[in-house]
Amino acid sequence: MAQFHELNIEHSIMQAIDKMGFEEATPIQEKVIPLGKEGQDIIGQAQTGTGKTVAFGIPCVEQVDVEEKHPQALVLTPTRELAIQVAEELNKLGRFKGIRALPIYGGQEITRQITALKKRPQIIVATPGRYMDHMRRKTIRPEYLKIVVLDEADEMLSMGFIEDIETILQEVPNERQTLLFSATMPPKLKGIADRFMNNPVSIAVKAKQLTVENIDQRYIVLPEKDKFDVLCNLLDKETPELAIIFGRTKRRVDELTDSLSIRGFAVEGLHGDMKQERRDLVIKKFKRGSIDVMVATDVAARGLDVNDVSHVINFDLPQDSESYVHRIGRTGRAGRKGISYSFVTPREKDHLAYIEESTKKRMTQIQPPTYADALSGRHEQAVEMLRDAAMDPSAAQLTNAARGLLEQFDAETLVSAALKMVTKEPSKKPVKITGEAPVRSKHKPSRDGRGGGGGKRRKDRGGGGGGLRINAKKRSGKKEFSRAGAGGDGGRGKRGRDDRRGRDDRRGGRKKK
Ligand SMILES: Nc1ncnc2c1ncn2[C@@H]1O[C@H](COP(=O)(O)OP(=O)(O)OP(=O)(O)O)[C@@H](O)[C@H]1O
Ligand SMILES: [Mg+2]
């Protein structure tokens, strides 16, 4: 691997990289940065958590001119959280050069964004819907853009943003540079890319498997009705540093969040029907560790970079393998270790096989953790707590009381009693989780790991109110759609599409805790 200083990067940006604590460039960075700086169009693919943001970020920051008072680079991302995060990373890279990146996304007051735009950031990071709004209002002038980056390009296209992206690109001068990035690149993307791009070079960091090596991938076979208790046992047994639990639908996320909270876990939910301020708050709390469990729909699957996510749990298997790759990729980032668990109902075993074939990686089956496992996890926590308390000098105040007790009991009995008192037994409070139908695999496992299916789909994304309403006729397997209202980014688009994921976007409001 190359050191950053071998890549001929501008001095001020090198300073920023030093400050960020990076020394060696990751393989995708090493390949993309030199070509990107030359203005080359690039399709970049590399595994999750391997630094794609910096790979496109350095060419962007290097090529924009601080003196020019118009936005010169545009980065499009599928979700609002990702827009915020990418803008943060670009701001770090550009700080010594004086480059500013502004995130623009749905659900945030547009007037506030207009004010921020007047301060003339050189880089805009936006979700497609909100960017289109600004384009129509002429509060962003696209004619000065020199670089366009599509981060998670495949996702934006499968979310149905293709027409928006085409419209956006039509307004950008043709001599622009276009960069397109993702950890997964379905073959059909290539054709689309050719339409948007000018002689792009494909840079794929070759790996044996789609998922990173440092994620220990496990699965548990269990009936649907056992999932929640097993989840609680698992969390107690493993006491994750930070865990993300993925559920299939918004209702699922709400129910899981409420139920985990009833059982005493520090948890918040994240999905596209939540108010933007709430979404931002949940991410903040999760990043600083004031909650250690986040339950989310696929809105959190792409690009999100939170240090120290130790566990990803697929409470429901995702419909497609791309989604699986991105979900579990929230852990094991930047060379760290991670563990993923996938809950598989007996009827979903074929689907599991399809995912394994696609990622070219076998998962390890483990037995469902039991209540006894949960209890011993809690005991270990109690031991930790007692150990911490013993190291606290203020414990000395109780020395006399301790001596008195030691005259009556032996030390082992006393410490065991103290541990028993500190142990919070796993709660068995009743909760209500509505059962979900198993994922019906449309993919027949095949030798190259790609079954049929695929096709168009729409994901549960951050729609500010204008979500897709699904009238699911579950039995017939046919679904009808009607759109309700126009909204933020995720709920955009007139393309009533075949929701093969069978997501149920209906929800009955978040229950008050
Ligand atoms: N050269 C480097 N050395 C060490 N850490 C790095 C380096 N480059 C990036 N990182 C860090 O690695 C983490 C993952 O980077 P990033 O979010 O860009 O990954 P990604 O490839 O875009 O992943 P995903 O496919 O999930 O979006 C970030 O915290 C980032 O700051
Ligand atoms: Mg990324």
Model pLDDT for residues 21-54, shown as the tens digit of each residue: 999 999 999 999 999 999 999 999 999 999 999 9
Contacts of 314 (CB under 8 A, 6+ apart): 246, 324, 327, 328, 340, 341, 342, 343
Taking CA atoms only, the protein residue closest to ligand 1 atom 9 is: 51
Asked if residue 389 and residue 257 are part of one domain, the reply reads yes
- Residue among 95, 37, 99 at smallest CA distance from 68: 99
Pocket test for ligand 1, best of 29, 31, 52, 151 (most atoms within 8 A of CB): 52
Which ligand 1 atom is at minimum distance from the Cα of 329?
A: 26
**H-type helices in 100-226, by residue range?**
110-118, 128-137, 153-158, 162-170, 187-196
**CA–CA separation, 354 vs 328, rounded Å?**
16
Which ligand 1 atom is at minimum distance from the Cα of 152?
A: 27
How many angstroms does the Cα of residue 83 sit away from the middle of ligand 1?
15
**Which of 181, 207, 233 is the last residue before a domain boundary?**
207
Asked if residue 201 and residue 244 are part of one domain, the reply reads no
- List of the chain residues with pLDDT < 50: 446-513
**CA–CA separation, 460 vs 490, rounded Å?**
8
Q: Which ligand is nearest to the CA of 75?
A: 2
Which secondary-structure segment (H or E) carries 182?
Answer: strand 177-182
Pocket test for ligand 1, best of 7, 19, 47, 53 (most atoms within 8 A of CB): 53
How many angstroms does the Cα of residue 52 sit away from the middle of ligand 2?
5
Asked if residue 365 and residue 337 are part of one domain, the reply reads yes
Asked if residue 233 and residue 175 are part of one domain, the reply reads no
Taking CA atoms only, the protein residue closest to ligand 1 atom 30 is: 51
Q: Which amino acid is at 360?
A: K
Taking CA atoms only, the protein residue closest to ligand 1 atom 8 is: 51
Asked if residue 120 and residue 258 are part of one domain, the reply reads no
Instruction: Tell me the CB-side half-sphere exposure of residue 341, using CA atoms within 13 A.
Output: 25
- Residue among 259, 235, 228 at smallest CA distance from 374: 235
How many angstroms does the Cα of residue 340 sit away from the middle of ligand 1?
19
Asked if residue 188 and residue 226 are part of one domain, the reply reads no
Asked if residue 182 and residue 231 are part of one domain, the reply reads no
**Which of 157, 178, 207 is the last residue before a domain boundary?**
207
**Which of 166, 182, 207 is the last residue before a domain boundary?**
207
- In this prediction, residue 63 carries a pLDDT of 97
The domain in which residue 392 lies consists of 211-513
Taking CA atoms only, the protein residue closest to ligand 1 atom 16 is: 51
Q: Which ligand is nearest to the CA of 44?
A: 1
| Residues contacting ligand 1 via CB (< 6 Å) | 22, 24-26, 29, 46, 48-54, 183, 303, 305, 329, 333-334
Instruction: Tell me the CB-side half-sphere exposure of residue 93, using CA atoms within 13 A.
Output: 26
Structure tokens at 272: 């596209």
Which ligand 1 atom is at minimum distance from the Cα of 303?
A: 27
Provide the β-strand partners of residue 3: 24
How many angstroms does the Cα of residue 150 sit away from the middle of ligand 1?
16
How many angstroms does the Cα of residue 347 sit away from the middle of ligand 1?
36
Taking CA atoms only, the protein residue closest to ligand 1 atom 2 is: 22
Which ligand 1 atom is at minimum distance from the Cα of 183?
A: 25
Q: Which ligand is nearest to the CA of 83?
A: 2
Asked if residue 216 and residue 197 are part of one domain, the reply reads no
Pocket test for ligand 1, best of 3, 6, 50, 90 (most atoms within 8 A of CB): 50
Please give the backbone phi and psi of residue 501, each rounded to the nearest 5 degrees, phi first.
-80, -15
- Residue among 163, 226, 185, 223 at smallest CA distance from 46: 185
Pocket test for ligand 1, best of 333, 336, 359 (most atoms within 8 A of CB): 333
Pocket test for ligand 1, best of 7, 22, 180, 244 (most atoms within 8 A of CB): 22
Query: What CATH number does the domain containing 449 carry?
Result: 3.40.50.300
Q: Are 75 and 88 in contact (CB under 8 A)?
A: no
DSSP annotation of 302 reads S
Flag whether the ipTM exceeds 0.95.
yes
- Residue among 244, 241, 204, 267 at smallest CA distance from 329: 244
Asked if residue 373 and residue 245 are part of one domain, the reply reads yes
How many angstroms does the Cα of residue 54 sit away from the middle of ligand 2?
9
Asked if residue 461 and residue 503 are part of one domain, the reply reads yes
**CA–CA separation, 85 vs 78, rounded Å?**
12
How many angstroms does the Cα of residue 12 sit away from the middle of ligand 2?
23
Asked if residue 472 and residue 403 are part of one domain, the reply reads yes
Model pLDDT for residues 228-265, shown as the tens digit of each residue: 999 999 999 999 999 999 999 999 999 999 999 999 99
Pocket test for ligand 1, best of 31, 92, 305, 340 (most atoms within 8 A of CB): 305
Asked if residue 348 and residue 230 are part of one domain, the reply reads yes
How many angstroms does the Cα of residue 305 sit away from the middle of ligand 2?
8
Give me the number of domains the chain comprises.
Answer: 2
Q: Are 144 and 68 in contact (CB under 8 A)?
A: yes
Taking CA atoms only, the protein residue closest to ligand 1 atom 25 is: 48
- In this prediction, residue 467 carries a pLDDT of 28
Write b or e for each residue in 150-172: b if 16 or more Cβ atoms lie within 10 A of its Cβ, otherwise e.
bbbbbbbbbbbbbebbeebbeeb
* Model pTM score: 0.85
Contacts of 264 (CB under 8 A, 6+ apart): 424, 427
Sign of CA dihedral 124, 128, 130, 133: positive
Q: Which ligand is nearest to the CA of 53?
A: 1
Q: Which ligand is nearest to the CA of 4?
A: 1
How many angstroms does the Cα of residue 488 sit away from the middle of ligand 1?
28
How many angstroms does the Cα of residue 46 sit away from the middle of ligand 2?
9
**CA–CA separation, 230 vs 238, rounded Å?**
12
